[in-house]
Structures are given as C-alpha cells and as structure tokens.
Structure 1
Amino acid sequence: MNRRTLVGGAVALTAGLALAGCADSSADKASDKPELKVAGAFMPVPAMDDMASGFFTVTNKGAADKLTSVTSSIAEHVTLHSTKNNAMKEQKSFDVPENGELDFARGGNHVMFEALKHKPKQGDKVAVTLHFEKSDPVEIEVPVKAATYNPKSGKHASH
C-alpha cells in the first residue's frame, strides 16, 4: 500500500509538472514576438538641398526582427546604408537581433533621405516610419539638430 501511494504521488507530480510546462510554453509565446522601441533619433541639418541622413537606435526586448524599409513624406526615396572601412553601401534590410539593438550612428549604419521635397531646418521635426518584417510599422518624429550634433551617449560615440 505504501508503494502504491508513492507511485500515485509520483504520477500526480509528473502530471502537474507537465501541465505547468504547458502553461509556461504559452507564456513563452509572448516573448516569441519582437518588442521594439526606437530612441535617440536625429537628423543633422543637411549640407545639401536634396539629401539628408538620419540616425536612431532600435532596441528589441523580444524575438528577432528585420528592418526592411524606412519611409518619410519629406523625401522621394529613403534608403538604408551601412558604412564599413569608410565605404558606404546601400542595404536592403538590417537584422534587429533578439534581445539586442540595431544602432544607426555617425560613421556606421544610417538612413539616407534622397530627393528632399524641402530642406529641413534646425528645430524642425521630420515624420518617419520604420517598416519591419514581423512587427507593425513604427512612426517616429526625428528632430533636426545642428550639423555637428553627436549624441553624448558612449554607445553612439563608440560606433
């Protein structure tokens, strides 16, 4: 009888753990989605009338995603670029790592606003929409800063 009670208890414990595992897997599903936030956005006052650059950081506290494009009513075309070894190259997309960051900073990744409809001035805010593979589009207002502006955060300074 004692052995039967032990076996019954073990079966009950195993079933309880299995059910708990099911409950946990549904909780894990929520983290299977990207959780994106965009911060630190800025556009230096453009040196030319028809072209500008933009910078920001996408922070992801969830599953991986991909930035596929950027749009803005201020420009005919907005393109994604990387810079490696002082060479700028257009990119079709950028990975947003799981629980990581995608950084667009001077001397590195950046957005190019081409064929500007008007040249923004310092103090203006430019409406920009970031489009992702999995996540809904993210709309941000990008402040136009002095041409020499560079964020003081160590992250942007080190990239």
Structure 2
Amino acid sequence: MNKQILTFLASMTFASCAMAQVTVKDAWIRATVPTAKATGAFMQLQSAKDARLVEVRSSAAGVVEIHEMAMEGQMMRMHAIAGLDLPAGKPVNLASGGYHVMLLDLKHQLKEGDTVPLTLVIQNQDKKTETVSLSVPVKALNYSAPKH
C-alpha cells in the first residue's frame, strides 16, 4: 500500500520534485488530433536557488524545445530559446502565449487521459545539471489551465 501511495505521489506533477531544487506545479500537455505532429507542454516552475531550464526531453517526441511567444510588431511569433532563467523563489509560468515546451515530431497521437514522460534538465549557477522526471497528464484540446 505504501509503495502505491509513493508511486501515485511521484506521478502527480503538482508535487514537489525533491531531486532538484525545483518545484513543478500544474503540468499538462495539450491533446492532439490524429495527424498532428506537435503540441505544447505547460507548467509552473519554481527554483529554490537561481537556476536555468536548459533542456527538456521526452520519448514521445523526436524533438523537444523550450519556446517563447512574443509580439513582433503586430504579429505574435514563436521561437525556440536556449534556456529559461528560474530566479530563486519566483514562480515561472510556462503557459499558452508565453514560455512553453514544444513537443515536435510526435511519435503518436496524444489523447486526453494519456501521460507523457518529460525530463527537465536544470542547470545550477555552478553549471552542474540536475534532472527532474515527470509523468505529465494529457488534457483535452479545449482545456483551460488554472490561473497563477
């Protein structure tokens, strides 16, 4: 019974990730239509110490990138970034319309109720890296994330 409880808590993406000094809350991935080859992953990150999200990995996608959406003139544009600063004690939202994770070259359709493995690679100020492994739930195409 205790093992089942621990497994459940480990899979809950809003639980603290004790392996690194980073807490992950409200992680989710948008479901896809059958022919889609890309989708987004969203969450809130908070680091106890200054750090940087430098990479995200997933076996569900051929390519995973950290992205930023920003206005360029009258157009909203999305592009990959090399990393995302995580200032000590301050929540950083990865949400639609801002920073987020893009899963590209998906290996199969992601359906509501599925879970997807994600590994966050966090670089500390001393340039050492730690990983945070997540099992992220897939939410419906019309899902609205909680407001932070």
Identify which of 76, 88, 100 aligns with 2:62: 76
Identify which of 75, 82, 91 aligns with 1:101: 91
Q: Relative to total residues, which structure has the larger helix share, 1 or 2?
A: 1
Identify which of 41, 56, 72 aligns with 1:54: 41
Provide the TM-score with structure 2 as the length reference: 0.76
What is residue 152 of structure 1 aligned with on the other side? 146
What is residue 128 of structure 1 aligned with on the other side? 118
Q: Can you list the C-alpha shifts for 1:87-107, whole angstroms capped at 9, x where unaligned?
A: 112101000011112210111
Larger Rg: 1
Classify the secondary structure of the residue corresponding to 2:113.
Answer: coil
Question: Conserved in 1, the CA contact under 8 Å of 2:49 and 2:89?
Answer: yes
Residue 143 of structure 1 pairs with residue 137 of structure 2: yes
2: distance between equivalents of 1:90 and 1:96? Answer: 17
Shift, 1:112, TM fit: 0.7
CA RMSD between the two structures: 1.4
Q: Can you list the C-alpha shifts for 1:15-57, whole angstroms capped at 9, x where unaligned?
A: xxxxxxxxxxxxxxxxxxx721111101111244211111011
Question: Conserved in 1, the CA contact under 8 Å of 2:46 and 2:88?
Answer: no
Question: Conserved in 1, the CA contact under 8 Å of 2:65 and 2:102?
Answer: yes
Provide the TM-score with structure 1 as the length reference: 0.71
Are the structure 2 counterparts of residues 146 and 36 from structure 1 closer, same or farther at C-alpha, using a change threshold of 3 Å? Answer: same
Instruction: Count residues with an aligned counterpart.
Output: 120
Residue 87 of structure 1 pairs with residue 77 of structure 2: yes
Structure 1 spans left out of the alignment, 5+ residues: 1-33
Question: Conserved in 2, the CA contact under 8 Å of 1:46 and 1:53?
Answer: no
Q: Can you list the C-alpha shifts for 1:75-122, whole angstroms capped at 9, x where unaligned?
A: 111001001112112101000011112210111111111111111111
1: distance between equivalents of 2:140 and 2:39? Answer: 12
2: distance between equivalents of 1:35 and 1:76? Answer: 28
Percentage of identical aligned residues: 29
Structure 2 spans left out of the alignment, 5+ residues: 1-19
Shift, 1:152, TM fit: 3.0
